[in-house]
Amino acid sequence: MRQFKYILGFAILFTTSVNAQHKHSKTSAFTSYKGLVMAGYQGWFNAPDDGAGRGWNHYAAKGKFEPGNCKVDLWPATAEYKKTYKTPFRLADSSAAVLFSSYDASTVDLHFKWMKEYGIDGVFVQRFVSNVKSPVSLRHNNTVLGNALNAAKKYHRAIAIMYDLSGMHEGDADVVINDFKKLVDSLQLTTRGKKQTYLYHNGKPLVALWGVGFPGRSYGLKDIEKMMDFLQNDKEYGGCSIMLGVPTYWRDLDKDAVKDPHLTEVIKRADIVHPWFVGRYNEQNYPAFKQHIAGDVEWCKQNKIDYAPVVYPGFSWHNMYNKSPQNQMPRNRGEFYWKQISGALESGAEMLYVAMFDEIDEGTAIFKVSKNPPVGASSFVTFEDGVPEDHYLFLTGMAAKMLRKEIPFSETQPVQQAESFGKK
């Protein structure tokens, strides 16, 4: 019966694809996620004077942004930003510490410039459903996405959308559907011609839905299926590939996953499965976790689905949640990150997802981080002595080379030469 349904389903989909006149360009400069290292891009930071009207968004904690009240555990290195904003924080020399705003086009441009310089293939721009429902947040997100699309073209980096369903409610599938239509029509998300840099997979534009199969959420698998059906089969806006962001233990329907067997059937309809690993292991117990990844890879091969595991450099959210220890999952000079990269590739992964490019609030950012953050009532995680501020950009670029076999596989992280990129 299952085989008959699959064959019938294929016939229906094939007929639909012939008759449909999809709005998307037929192809892209990036035709597959395979062989790429992509990062998540939050783009959610603001300053009061940036024009977005969101204050110190994602920098402030408890409505305040001042020493003793902040939300970030890493302080970005700001020397290369064209536009920065003074903060109430002070450096060791008593000068005012500054920060960037993601709302500024120059900020996004610099981030994509770094991606090109260090060989990082591109990013999934995060798009929270809760933000889509807020006019002020929607304006910010559309501005950041528009700037990212332009920068991706300028620096020839892959770009794709990831809808984060956190904060979504039952019945909100139409919010995502209508938003996607607007992005295709107004921002030309996937309609910029065959040389566009929007990421395609299996010959179709790739759209990620993150937050599928986690327990305790107010939306369910029916909402997921409605969005998937639209993205795959709509006569105008369909014809997309889908990546599903799922719990770590999606395959076992255990621990952080719902215990509903229907989750497995939903996942089988996707092109790529993308399990969330941040916080699930540390450097000490990661070697045992590798067996879990190998099992995921095997399942995906058997079911003809691609697999995009997460790797992350470290984790810390003490300033956001004071009861959590600072530097909770230490980076250990890049050793933790490289163990995950080499472990995923050794287990058979053909693509990687880095969490995250710019998330300094949870301490997972790979972009340039200050070695001399503000001093005072708030403390910040810094890289160890001798580890340059761009070390994780460098490692991510080397991971892409190793994935594509441009350099030999190695469990030992590569050594960064000071002259490699002309900056420390």
Interval 112-161: pLDDT, tens: 999 999 999 999 999 999 999 999 999 999 999 999 999 999 999 999 99
- The HSE-up count of residue 147 (CA atoms within 13 Å, CB side) is 21
Is residue 14 very low, low, confident or very high in pLDDT (cuts 50, 70, 90)?
A: very low
Give pLDDT, residue 417.
79
The full length of the chain comes to: 424
Is residue 4 very low, low, confident or very high in pLDDT (cuts 50, 70, 90)?
A: very low
Is pLDDT at 34 greater than 70 in this prediction? Answer: yes
Integer CA distances (angstroms), 281 to 274, 278, 290, 292, in order: 17, 8, 10, 11
DSSP string, 177-223: HHHHHHHHHHS-TT-S-TT--B-EETTEEEEEEE--S-TT-SS-HHH
Q: Determine the distance from the C-alpha atom of residue 139 to the mean position of all C-alpha atoms in its chain, rounded to a whole number.
A: 20
Give dist(CA 204, CA 195) in Å, integer: 14
Integer CA distances (angstroms), 78 to 70, 268, 333, in order: 18, 44, 21
Is residue 20 very low, low, confident or very high in pLDDT (cuts 50, 70, 90)?
A: low
Is residue 424 very low, low, confident or very high in pLDDT (cuts 50, 70, 90)?
A: very low
Give pLDDT, residue 70.
97
Q: Considering the entire predicted model, what is its pTM? A: 0.94
Give pLDDT, residue 287.
94
What is the average pLDDT across 249-277?
Answer: 98
What is the average pLDDT across 204-233?
Answer: 98
What amino acid occupies position 384? E
Give dist(CA 61, CA 72) in Å, integer: 9
Strands 272-275, 306-307: pairing kind: parallel
Is pLDDT at 229 greater than 70 in this prediction? Answer: yes
What is the average pLDDT across 264-289?
Answer: 97
Is pLDDT at 1 greater than 50 in this prediction? Answer: no
Give pLDDT, residue 18.
40
Give pLDDT, residue 21.
76
| Burial call 41-67: b when 16+ CB within 10 Å, e when fewer | bbbbbbbeebebebebbbbbbeeebeb
Interval 346-373: pLDDT, tens: 999 999 999 999 999 999 999 999 999 9
**Burial environment of residue 264 by CB neighbours within 10 A (0 to 12, 13 to 18, 19 or more):** middle
Q: Of 61-65, 211-215, 417-421, where does mean pLDDT reach its minimum?
A: 417-421
Give dist(CA 424, CA 421) in Å, integer: 8
- The HSE-up count of residue 38 (CA atoms within 13 Å, CB side) is 34
Interval 77-116: pLDDT, tens: 999 999 999 999 999 999 999 999 999 999 999 999 999 9
* More confidently predicted of 416 and 157: 157
Is pLDDT at 6 greater than 60 in this prediction? Answer: no
φ and ψ at residue 22, rounded to 5 degrees:
-70, 150
